[in-house]
Chain A
Amino acid sequence: MPGKQVRLDEAVVDQVHRNRVLLGFPADAPDGVVVSELTREAMEARLEAHRRQERARLYTDWAQERDLREGTGDALRAAVEDGIA
């Protein structure tokens, strides 16, 4: 698999090598493939966690928005009155 070489902690490589099957990879999967896949998954998980934190901050701010609070309940009330809910 083409790619850049990076220096990894030897203990990490040993752990990957020993636990590849437990980690869900074939016993003969190359260390580089396993490390790349685990790194990609870890990055995605961190990015998603970051997105969640950002969303929570954004929503806490928008919860104070008067423009949104003014219409609370109007869509539900209208849907019931219109016989669609």
Chain B
Amino acid sequence: MAIRRGTIYRIPRLVIASGLLVLTNDEWNEAPTEELSGALVFAEAGAGRTAIPGLAFHAGQLLRVPKGDLTDPLVELSPDELARVEDGVFEILGLDDLLSERPRAPVAQPGEIDYPRWSNIYRAGDRIGTPPERKRYLVVSHDRYNRALGGAICVRTTSSVRRGGPTIPTLGDGVTKAVCALPTFWSSHRVGIREARPVPAQLFMPDMRIVAAALLEALALPRPGSRRTL
């Protein structure tokens, strides 16, 4: 089955969500990669969800899922419908501020920090691989979202020696690569917030701008200034 960006697919394993709106670009979707990313789609409104006009759906967390789990295409979004979801993704990832000529970091949130924080790198998920270890993830969603949702949108970082590119950029240390084609949500309890942190434990504005540009291309989002006005 050809998987297309901008189409909502049914995933039988989902319990609460109605499907997944694929957002990774179509070169990624067509490549022999195991997974892709998109926005979970729900029938009900909720925190962090964006209503899709004209459809009884609300786009929620970005999630990385195996391509093999996608079954029937439910609906292909029109450009206007997709633009509304893209606006929501822009906001959650703070892309307008990060990619502006005068970049600004998302505003820090007051109160207890019991959530993964923007620009920080943590170990998250189950122990996997050989030897078993929790993989490193960079938080790309802003802290207002992370606090409200009890989790964060993250991308994997790796020290793989494979060639990097615009959507898997090599960061300023010349070693770390961010796999921006697979942003995914992790609940706070699955992120090692209080555990020993990997090195580097945090990225700063130059690297976060590189990651923002990579997310833009990986998710085929319109460039700031060329976005549709709804």
Contacts and interface: CB of A to CB of B under 8 A. Distances in A.
Contacts of A71: 125, 128-129, 135, 156
B165 A67 contact: no
A21 interface: no
Contact of B31 (A63, A70, A74): A63
A84 B13 CA distance: 12
Interface string A52-85: 1011101111110111111111111011101111
A76 to B, nearest CB: 4
B13 A76 contact: yes
Interface residues of B, number: 47
Contact of B167 (A55, A65, A75, A79): A55
B163 A58 contact: yes
Nearest to B165: A58
Contacts of B25: 55
B28 A59 contact: yes
Contact of A63 (B11, B33, B186): B33
Nearest to A56: B27
B162 A80 contact: no
A40 interface: no
A62 B168 contact: yes
Nearest to B26: A52
A56 B31 contact: yes
Q: Is the interface of A mostly helix, strand, loop or mixed?
A: helix
Interface residues of A, number: 30
A65 B160 CA distance: 8
Given A55-B165, A85-B40, 14 more contacts: A54-B165, A54-B166, A58-B168, A61-B162, A66-B129, A67-B129, A67-B160, A69-B34, A72-B66, A73-B69, A75-B65, A79-B63, A84-B40, A85-B16
Interface of B: 11, 13-17, 25, 27-28, 30-35, 40, 61, 63-66, 69, 125-126, 128-129, 135, 151, 156, 158, 160, 162-163, 165-168, 179, 181-182, 184-187, 189-190, 217
19 contacts: A54-B165, A55-B25, A55-B165, A56-B27, A59-B181, A61-B162, A67-B160, A68-B35, A68-B156, A68-B158, A68-B179, A70-B128, A73-B69, A74-B125, A75-B125, A83-B15, A84-B16, A84-B187, A85-B17
Interface of A: 51-52, 54-56, 58-63, 65-76, 78-80, 82-85
